[in-house]
Amino acid sequence: MNSYISKDLQREYDLKRQRAIGEAETRRKELLERLPRYEELLIRKNKLAIEMAKTMLKGNDLDRQIAEENMKIKLGEIDREIETLFVSEGLPKDYIYPKFECGKCEDTGFIRLGNKETRCSCFTQKVVNITYKQNNMLRLEDENFNTFDIAYFSNKVDKEKYQSDKSPLQNIEDIKKLSISFVNNLDNPCQKNLLFTGRAGTGKTFMSSAIAHSAVNKGYSVLYQTAPLLMDMIIEAKFAGYKDETKKEQYNRVFDVDLLIIDDLGTENLSNTKFTELFNIINTRLLKDKKTIISTNLTLQDLAVQYDDRVMSRLIGNYTICRFFGDDIRLKKKKMC
Ligand SMILES: Nc1ncnc2c1ncn2[C@@H]1O[C@H](COP(=O)(O)OP(=O)(O)OP(=O)(O)O)[C@@H](O)[C@H]1O
Ligand SMILES: [Mg+2]
Ligand SMILES: [Zn+2]
């Protein structure tokens, strides 16, 4: 992870956390002044806790256990009384607790897995977002499985037009099912990668976005980039000789991120260096067992003309090929407006 970005972001997290804790403290103080009953209940709670500590020090195991259980019940009763008091004041139950942006790491940026501390996914995803310009990101909030609209897909089979026994509707429903299963199996080594092919406006980027949205929500790091920008970035990073920390970070992310989405493959300007880099990305990610989605307007035949056998054999062997077909939804949407 880029040390500059990480340090800045960590500082941001520390501030955010302190702010949340400070604000909660202010709310608590204000409440103590305003509601004497609340103060009384807190004092009772404190006394009980002290009593409990004292009891724990003496008596036999059974006495201690009984005392502890009793104390828990009493503490619970006070907590419920506090809750009722809050409700009667029109306050949420968690009013005095800090409101953290991320419930998983409570804005520390770290989570504990066993006895190991790892970066929380919210932090990793923020690094990805910072590293890559926002305008290249997907529209995750607009294009996801919740906003998926089957009304754009015809239920008429047109074998001549689409060379398929399925209707566009049946086809997209199958791809959607496969995509949901894909995102549920990102860690599964048996899960193949996805290759989306199809004409313009048939929903490839939408489906990629829906998968990305779901993966991010599950805590995976996701990187979306169009093939031309990805290739330029990779080559720039190489030319910078990895001295530029941001470029080095960008480069490494392409290989390390849990899910890489390469959109619009085939629209990049082709060169031998780019072929080598594309092969390197596809191959390294396969070896690392990291999932990739590739989208393209090209057919498999076109791809075979543009890319060499080493790339093609990996795509065919390790990717499930999903052919998108149907009307151009972009045009359909335009007509509807
Ligand atoms: N399942 C869907 N539900 C609702 N809207 C959709 C769906 N699929 C696609 N769209 C909309 O249709 C338009 C075109 O879809 P998209 O961008 O995914 O096409 P594409 O296959 O990636 O096209 P291109 O090859 O030109 O990149 C977008 O406005 C998108 O929001
Ligand atoms: Mg697209
Ligand atoms: Zn977090």
Q: What does DSSP say about strands 193-198 and 319-324: parallel, antiparallel, or unpaired? A: parallel
User: CA 214 to CA 212: how far, in whole Å?
Assistant: 5
Count of domains for the chain = 2
Name the region of 287 (left: φ>0; alpha: ψ -120 to 50; beta: rest): alpha
Q: Which of the listed residues 144, 202, 206 should we mutate to test ligand 1's pocket, taking the one with most ligand atoms within 8 A of CB? A: 206
Question: What separation in Å is there between the alpha carbon of 205 and the centre of ligand 1?
Answer: 6
Q: Is residue 55 part of a domain?
A: yes
Q: Is residue 96 part of a domain?
A: no
The amino acid sitting at 54 is: K
Helices 36-57 and 3-34 meet at what angle, rounded to 10?
Answer: 110
Q: Which residue, of 67, 88, 109, is where some domain finishes? A: 88
Tens-of-pLDDT digits for all 337 residues of the chain? 445 567 788 999 999 999 999 999 999 999 999 999 999 999 999 998 888 888 777 777 887 888 888 888 999 999 999 999 999 999 998 899 999 999 999 999 999 988 888 888 888 778 766 655 443 567 777 899 999 999 999 999 999 999 999 999 999 999 999 999 999 999 999 999 999 999 999 999 999 999 988 887 776 778 899 999 899 989 888 887 767 777 787 888 899 888 999 999 998 888 888 888 999 999 999 999 999 999 999 999 999 999 989 999 999 999 999 999 999 999 988 877 6
Domain identity same for 54 and 148: no
The SS3 call for residue 113 is strand
Residues having CB closer than 6 A to ligand 1 are 143, 148-149, 152, 198, 200-206, 264, 297, 324, 329-330, 333
Q: Which of the listed residues 139, 140, 143 should we mutate to test ligand 1's pocket, taking the one with most ligand atoms within 8 A of CB? A: 143
Domain identity same for 152 and 69: no
Question: What separation in Å is there between the alpha carbon of 238 and the centre of ligand 2?
Answer: 27
Ligand closest to Cα of 145 equals 1
Domain identity same for 206 and 273: yes
Count how many Cα atoms sit within 13 Å of the Cα of residue 133 in the half-sphere of its side chain.
Answer: 6
Domain identity same for 145 and 70: no
CB atoms within 10 A of CB 105: 20
Token readout for 92 is 């949420």
Question: Could you tell me if 151 and 169 are in contact, meaning their C-beta atoms sit under 8 angstroms apart?
Answer: no
Domain identity same for 167 and 283: yes
Domain identity same for 52 and 157: no
Strand order across the beta sheet in which 291-296 lies: 222-226, 259-265, 291-296, 193-198, 319-324
Give the number of the atom of ligand 1 that is nearest the alpha carbon of residue 196.
Answer: 21
Domain identity same for 196 and 319: yes
Give the number of the atom of ligand 1 that is nearest the alpha carbon of residue 199.
Answer: 25
The SS3 call for residue 160 is helix
Integer-rounded Cα radius of gyration of the chain: 27
Question: What separation in Å is there between the alpha carbon of 11 and the centre of ligand 3?
Answer: 14
Domain identity same for 167 and 296: yes
Q: Which residue, of 63, 88, 113, is where some domain finishes? A: 88
pTM equals 0.70
Domain identity same for 81 and 138: no
Question: What separation in Å is there between the alpha carbon of 243 and the centre of ligand 3?
Answer: 30
Q: Is residue 103 part of a domain?
A: no
Q: Which domain holds residue 277?
A: 132-336
